[in-house]
Amino acid sequence: MVKEQDHVVEDARKQVATLWVFSSDEVFTSGATESNNIAIRGLVDYGMKMYIITTAIEHKAVLETVKDLSENGFEVEFIDAVLTEELMLRMS
């Protein structure tokens, strides 16, 4: 039964990818919280350095993930939101 369901999901993924012109390897999530977790933890799993810079005004899903990572060995720095805008301007 599970293999049949996997096949149905994979077929649907390919159909959507064809309609929207993107790779069928793209990941579909249930929403922003899951997407944020996959993105942040994916970088961690990929072997990125154990240092995270964020702001206190991030979405709760981001803050909770970062908090969990800080409790598991990652160094986390919270910067002022005004500084974030300043940094973005410098980087562009």
The distance from CA 25 to its chain's CA centroid, rounded to whole angstroms, is 16
The pTM (predicted TM-score) of the whole model is 0.59
pLDDT tens digits in sequence order for the chain, 92 residues long:
667 777 887 787 777 777 766 665 667 777 888 888 888 888 777 777 788 888 888 999 999 999 999 998 889 998 877 766 667 777 66
Write down how long the chain is.
92
What are the C-alpha distances in Å from 3 to residues 9, 10, 15, 23? 10, 10, 18, 22
CA triplet 53, 55, 61: central angle to 5 degrees? 95
